Structures are given as structure tokens and as C-alpha cells.
């Protein structure tokens, strides 16, 4: 049996369009249990993104600044190939509710099939963020709602700017 690696280097992959306080909560938890944590922004996403990959990376870089063992990268192609390239031995993902489990299980098992030596670990997001998603945050801001406390202040400002200040005053009749 192979000896366990003494150093955990984790990849935390996602779209991060944009990063939320739920993601940040997971980064904070992850940074306490691994030696190095690489937040990896997906490049070749089929979903139409609000922020470019460069913008998302810039935002993530800014908000993870307090964590000395967290860095930011981006990838396209297979996550397991990027993990190998970066010398990571762990994929980190968050689970908010049981509804996340099926999709996460599928991905974890596919990644294991592709690269058996790479483990996936799940951390539970703080309960305050169990309903939170980037998708909902974008929808709320686009309709003029308040997302303070759900995303870092700089993300809130960027979202408001992207959707325009008068998002909440638009009327169709």
C-alpha cells in the first residue's frame, strides 16, 4: 500500500460567475485543512457567463488575498488533467443541500475513473449559505434586489455596475 501523501494540495474548481460568500466560506474552511488551495476558474463553460474569465479571476484574486495559502488559476479541458499539471492530490467541492449530492457524486466518480489517484473531498457550506448560488445572486441583482451579505462588497459593486444602476426602476408598463 502506498504511503499517504504528507501534503494536501487541493483544487477547488468552479465557474465562479461571480464568487459568492458561500464559495468564500468554503475557501476559508479548505484553507485550514490543506497546505495549498488552488481556486480554479473554468474557461470553456457552455453556460453564458456574465463576467469574463479574466474578470472572475481578478475578483477571486482580490477576495482571497487574506489567505496566504490560496492561489487562483484557470483551466479548460479536463479538471483531472489540470489537477495533475498543478501537482494537486485533492479536488475540493462544496455541498449545500442534498440536492447537490447527485451531481457531485457523478462528477466525483467520473473524475475517479479518469484519474484514480486523485480524491474528491466535500466540505459542507455554512448553513447561512445553503440557499445561495451565483445564478440566484445574478437574478436578484438584475431585478434590483439586495444581495449585501451574500457576496463580497466588491462583487456587489461589480454586479450593480454590470446590470446598471436603474435595474430596479425598469417598468414594462
Catalytic residues: 23, 47, 96, 134
Dist CA 101 CA 57 (whole Å): 27
Measured distance CA(73)–CA(68) in Å, rounded = 15
Residues 6-45 close enough to bind ligand PNS by CB under 6 A: 13-15, 42
Residue 13 or 152 having the CB closest to ligand PNS: 13
> By CB under 6 A, is residue 133 in contact with ligand PNS?
no
Coil, strand, or helix at residue 44? coil
Question: Which residues ranging from 91 to 130 are in contact with ligand PNS (CB under 6 A)?
Answer: 107, 110-111
Q: Which is nearer to ligand PNS, 26 or 147 (CB)?
A: 26
Q: Which three cell numbers stand for residue 150?
A: 451574500
**All 3 cell numbers of residue 30?**
479548505
CA distance 71 to 67: 8
Q: 84 vs 167, which CB is nearer to ligand PNS?
A: 84
Rule CB under 6 A: which residues touch ligand PNS? 13-15, 42, 78-79, 107, 110-111
Amino acid at each position: 500500500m502506498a504511503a499517504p501523501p504528507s501534503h494536501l494540495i487541493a483544487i477547488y474548481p468552479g465557474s465562479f460567475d461571480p464568487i459568492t460568500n458561500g464559495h468564500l466560506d468554503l475557501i476559508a474552511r479548505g484553507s485550514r485543512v490543506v497546505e495549498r488551495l488552488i481556486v480554479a476558474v473554468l474557461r470553456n463553460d457552455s453556460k453564458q457567463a456574465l463576467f469574463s474569465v479574466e474578470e472572475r479571476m481578478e475578483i477571486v484574486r482580490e477576495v482571497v488575498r487574506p489567505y496566504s495559502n490560496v492561489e487562483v488559476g484557470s483551466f479548460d479541458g479536463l479538471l483531472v488533467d489540470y489537477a495533475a499539471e498543478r501537482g494537486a492530490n485533492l479536488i475540493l467541492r462544496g455541498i449545500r443541500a442534498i440536492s447537490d449530492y447527485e451531481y457531485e457524486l457523478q462528477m466525483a466518480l467520473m473524475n475517479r475513473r479518469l484519474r484514480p489517484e486523485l480524491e474528491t473531498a466535500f466540505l459542507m457550506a455554512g448553513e447561512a449559505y445553503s440557499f445561495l448560488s451565483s445564478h440566484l445572486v445574478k437574478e436578484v441583482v438584475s431585478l434590483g434586489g439586495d444581495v449585501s451579505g451574500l457576496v463580497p462588497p466588491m462583487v456587489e459593486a461589480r454586479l450593480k455596475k454590470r446590470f446598471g444602476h436603474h435595474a430596479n426602476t425598469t417598468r414594462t408598463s
